[in-house]
Structure 1
Amino acid sequence: MASGCFQFGFMSTPGACAADLRLEVLNAVLPREPDAVCVMAPSNNLTASRHPEEAGQEFEKYLKAVCSRWPKVFCTGFVPRLTEPREKQTLFEQEFHRRSAKLGIRYYPLADYFSLNSLNLWCRDGIHLSDDHGMQILKELIWVFSYQFMESSAPQPLVQSQRTPPYQPRFVPRVVVKGEERSRPASPLPTEWMLVRSGRKV
């Protein structure tokens, strides 16, 4: 895997279907607690299950087992095979996607990144990816999906409440008075003085 801000560990059980993987997860002993767990949809259920609904039930049990151990989980689809009809693989892919959405787990499809016309992406058996081409694409996709998931699940910074500035009107009304302006004296005129005594005016 590419070096950088992530470190990866892998659990792989050759030939395992969802039921086998569920037992592996429940009994797994990890050297450290992962920040996130990526579950790849089990392509071996294409042959182990009779129809998509049965595969979906086993996949849902598998996802619940993973979520019972780790809080941050996301899924990828399975890598398509050259040995199975494309229509059948699409039905299984849709069922796996539906089961993960039911549990609120993010799902990243893989099939669109592997063209069935590019035979160099697979080994001669048409099932496993080639080391020089197919696996290179898969490891890059796992890195990108992990980055997207970690970025979207990171806690958002708290927004500090800002004080609302005091209301300021956009214009100040002016009072206009028409007519002749009279100046008011600073003090009363002498003729306007009045002396007040008890009982009489002077």
Structure 2
Amino acid sequence: MRRKGRAERRSLWEDVRDRALPLSPEEQVRPAAFLRAGAGDAATLLALRALRRAVWPLIIAGVGIAWLNNEFDAQTLSVLTNPEEYVAAFLSPLALLAVGWGLRILVSLAGLVIAAPLAQGAWVEGAQAVSRGRRLIDLAYLSAGYRSVRWSYAVQREAVARCGDLGRRLSWLETAGRVALPVAFAFLVWVALQDVGTTTPAG
């Protein structure tokens, strides 16, 4: 019965997929369309992807280090949101946490900026907004969409192919970031267990 149910669900999904409206070749997504010509843009994208993968391991490890040093308390958020005290965080156990959040902001903005030239040339002639302000707003929206697609693995594969050995090395760095994430989580769990062990009163 269970196998039959799975088969029915799979058939239902295939039926829904088959009923989808077919896209013309012009409407289908081509990874190469989301990269500028040459290897420069592809290498930049791969470098940003590697940095992007490092963000959460840095943040999680930073939380663990701050926790170990009794710095992760109610003042942490104020330190990371107050511009005057943000630099001071680099001289404290919050340094790694500050680096992680700063890197997250920089990578997001950089991804948006390098996607803007592609988005700017994507509009069909005459389809753009009339006023300059609205064109800038539309450019921001479309650039964000291009940035999202550029984070996909299909575009990554195209970028690696364009960059050759450099692309493969950058891809390995991104893989290292993926491996670092569960390691950082394990470190945070270990810190939490250590804290519980030291705060639990003896029986």
| TM score, norm. by length of structure 1 | 0.20
Max Rg structure: 1
| TM score, norm. by length of structure 2 | 0.20
Tell me: higher relative CO, structure 1 or 2? Use CA pairs within 8 A at least 6 residues apart. Answer: 2
Question: Larger strand proportion, structure 1 or 2?
Answer: 1
